[in-house]
Amino acid sequence: MSAVTDWSTAPAADIAAAFAAGAVTAHAVTEAALARIACLDGRVNAFTDVVAERALGRAGALDAARARGEAPGPLAGVPFAAKNLFDIAGLPTRAGARINRAHPPATRDAALIARLEAAGAVLVGALNMGEYAYDFTGENVHDGNTLNPHDLGHMSGGSSGGSGGAIAAGLVPLALASDTNGSIRVPSAFCGCFGLKPTYGRLSRAGTFPFVGSLDHLGPMARTTLDLALAYDALQGPDAADPVATTRPPEPVTPHLTEGAAGLRIAVAGGYFARGGEADAFEAVAHCARALGITRTVEIPEAARARAAAYLITAAEGAALHLDRLRTRARDFDPAVRDRLIAGAMLPAPFVERAQRFRRWYRTAVLALFETVDVILAPSTPCRAPRSGQATFVLDGVELPVRPNIGLFTQPISFVGLPVAAVPVRLDGGLPLGVQVIAAPWREDLALRVAHHLEREGFSRAPVAALEQA
């Protein structure tokens, strides 16, 4: 056995390497993760369900397979958890909603859970989220708010708040999340961890509860870029069960991670992405630009209009999905979610049609930028994590509601499905900030190479929050 006795906060890559070498058992690692969850999650509220019996059974099977001489998978023995809009066999798929928890339990796991387990990972539970993923704060009126592990008085970000909280608290090294308008990138920024929103259609959404079909992405979150890359590679592959999933074969990124940023054409997003936020948000981008030795600026055209169009399409598609529930179970919704869905249901059809036409133009214009640039840097959020329950903040001298405006820098990017690596930045020891590393479609490898370079050179890091001392 290894001299290391506490594997509960170890990186996924270290766990998998130790398991493959026979230095630790999957059972020991799983027990350590479950013990840490039991000890600390009451303060963070990242988990809604813990599947301890399943996890220990899976760990035992991995240990037995290794004893038989079977080759371990690339994530063998690594604990992970999934946002509770992923189907988990034996559990109702909550999607953060009161209504859903009365549904029959799922009969099989979501495709991405199955793929991580095929790579040897061990599912330990389901994670808290904003109701029906219509959230940027990490707040949930049914299951309670997920709090920021770096300061429990602040938001975790949403809607994948449980995923960000679990990673930052060291409860698991890997988490599955979703991102429609920013729900991986916002909690990655607020909680100080790495995240990947892949190209639209890159990863299968089969077995998950939808929000906006034309905008929904799934992806991993982690505390290191290597862990993020290992998880992403295990998740890739076509899936006929998701009608928008790509038929492209897997394109592994882990072998290219250490190639670094040399030779890449990198620019900072100006214009819309250089105003409307607090100074620290832009300093985080400048910090990364200095680390990469870049001074070039590009402007993403009509980004403000793209955000407005994304709002229209989100509201209209979300309302259409929930229309029957709104008619029959309106009182069971979070009022803030319900009211926005009702507003979406009343949008005039010509407004949505114009937004879709604009979307086609905008995609062409944005893709043209990548003829002269490989990667674009932009802030993830306009500020550090607001206080839990905070309703308004001041941006550019204007008081604005927090909930809809946290995603003002993420929405114009997911609107056309670009891949983004979310990079955490700690400028002064205070709460983290985040930077989006944006690439052309299907070039997750470039975004992750830049993210890994920033991590390797010490300009980006994702430490475990010191909850034990808090």
- Count CB atoms within 10 A of the CB of residue 373: 16
Q: Where are the beta strands (DSSP E) in 31-73?
A: 47-50
Residue 337 tokens read as 């979610």
159 is catalytic: yes
Q: Is 371 exposed, middle or buried (0-12, 13-18, 19+ CB in 10 A)?
A: exposed
Could you tell me the sign of the dihedral formed by the alpha carbons of 22, 25, 28, 32, in that order?
Answer: positive
Alpha helices in 103-174 (DSSP H): 111-118, 161-168
- Count CB atoms within 10 A of the CB of residue 22: 12
Residue 215 tokens read as 């905008």
Q: Which secondary-structure segment (H or E) carries 124?
A: strand 122-127
Using N-to-C axis directions, what is the helix angle for 52-67 and 26-44, rounded to 10°? 160
* Gap between the Cα atoms of 112 and 409, Å rounded: 27
Q: Which of 112, 87, 413 is nearest to 245 (CA)?
A: 112
Which member of 160, 163, 183, 188 is catalytic?
183
SS3 of residue 432 by DSSP: coil
Pairing between β-strand 217-222 and β-strand 194-197 as defined by DSSP bridges: antiparallel
Q: Which of 387, 357, 335 is nearest to 151 (CA)?
A: 387
The DSSP string of 257-275 is GGG-STT--EEEE-GGGGS
- Count CB atoms within 10 A of the CB of residue 75: 28
Residue 26 near residue 63 (C-beta atoms within 8 A):
yes
Taking only Cα atoms into account, the Rg of the chain, rounded to an integer number of angstroms, comes to 21
* Gap between the Cα atoms of 207 and 358, Å rounded: 31
Q: Is 470 exposed, middle or buried (0-12, 13-18, 19+ CB in 10 A)?
A: exposed
Which member of 159, 160, 163, 204 is catalytic?
159
* Gap between the Cα atoms of 190 and 470, Å rounded: 18
197 is catalytic: no
Residue with structure tokens 């980004």?
303
Could you tell me the sign of the dihedral formed by the alpha carbons of 111, 243, 102, 45, in that order?
Answer: positive
* Gap between the Cα atoms of 114 and 112, Å rounded: 5
Residue 311 pairs in a beta bridge with none
The DSSP symbol for 274 reads: G
183 is catalytic: yes
Known catalytic residues are: 83, 159, 183
